[in-house]
Amino acid sequence: MAGSSPSDNPDSYAALDVLTSAVVILDEQACVVHANTAAQALMDFSLKNVRGQRFAALFSNGEVIDALYHEAREQRFSNKRLDFELERSGHEPLQLHVIVTVLLDDPSTPVVLEMQEIDQQLRQNREERILEQSEANRELVRNLAHEVKNPLGGIRGAAQLLESELATPELREYTQVIIKESDRLQSLVDRLLAPQRRPHIVAELNIHEVCERVRSVVLAEYPRGLVIDRDYDTSLPEVQGDKEQLIQALLNITRNAAQALEERIRQGDGRISLCTRVARQSTIAKTRHRLALELHVIDNGPGIPEDIKDRIFFPLVSGRAGGSGLGLTLAQTFVQQHQGVIECESRAGRTEFTILLPLQ
**CA 287 vs CA 243, 282, 338: distances in Å:** 23, 8, 13
Number of Cβ within a 10 Å radius of residue 197: 12
For ligand ADP, which residue of 6, 93, 225, 319 counts as binding (CB under 6 A)?
Answer: 319
Nearer to ligand ADP among residue 256 and residue 282 (C-beta): 256
CA–CA gap between residue 299 and residue 262 (Å, rounded): 11
In the complex, the residues that contact Mg ion under the rule CB under 5 A are: 256, 327
62 is a contact residue toward ligand ADP (CB under 6 A):
no
Query: Least distance from C-beta 267 to ligand ADP, angstroms?
Result: 16
Four-CA torsion 29, 31, 35, 41, nearest 10 degrees: 140
351 binds, among ligand ADP, Mg ion, none (CB under 5 to 8 A by kind): ligand ADP
272 is a contact residue toward ligand ADP (CB under 6 A):
no
Nearer to ligand ADP among residue 39 and residue 247 (C-beta): 247
182 is a contact residue toward ligand ADP (CB under 6 A):
no
Nearer to ligand ADP among residue 270 and residue 301 (C-beta): 301
324 is a contact residue toward ligand ADP (CB under 6 A):
yes
Instruction: Dump the DSSP string for 156-168.
Output: HHHHHHHHHH-SS
For ligand ADP, which residue of 6, 93, 225, 325 counts as binding (CB under 6 A)?
Answer: 325
Terminal-to-terminal C-alpha distance of the chain:
59
301 binds, among ligand ADP, Mg ion, none (CB under 5 to 8 A by kind): ligand ADP
Query: Least distance from C-beta 335 to ligand ADP, angstroms?
Result: 13
40 is a contact residue toward ligand ADP (CB under 6 A):
no
Q: Is 190 exposed, middle or buried (0-12, 13-18, 19+ CB in 10 A)?
A: exposed
Query: Least distance from C-beta 317 to ligand ADP, angstroms?
Result: 6
226-231 and 111-117 beta bridge pairing: unpaired
User: Which residue from 284, 256, 278 is spatially nearest to 126, judged by alpha carbons?
Assistant: 284
SS3 content of the chain, % helix, strand, coil (to 5): 45, 25, 30
110 is a contact residue toward ligand ADP (CB under 6 A):
no
305 binds, among ligand ADP, Mg ion, none (CB under 5 to 8 A by kind): ligand ADP
Beta strands in the chain (DSSP E): 22-26, 32-35, 79-86, 94-102, 111-117, 203-205, 226-231, 239-241, 270-284, 287-299, 341-347, 350-358
Nearer to ligand ADP among residue 203 and residue 316 (C-beta): 316
349 is a contact residue toward ligand ADP (CB under 6 A):
no
Nearer to ligand ADP among residue 40 and residue 134 (C-beta): 134
305 is a contact residue toward ligand ADP (CB under 6 A):
yes
Residues at the interface with ligand ADP (CB under 6 A)? 252, 256-257, 260, 299, 301, 303-305, 312, 317-320, 323-329, 351
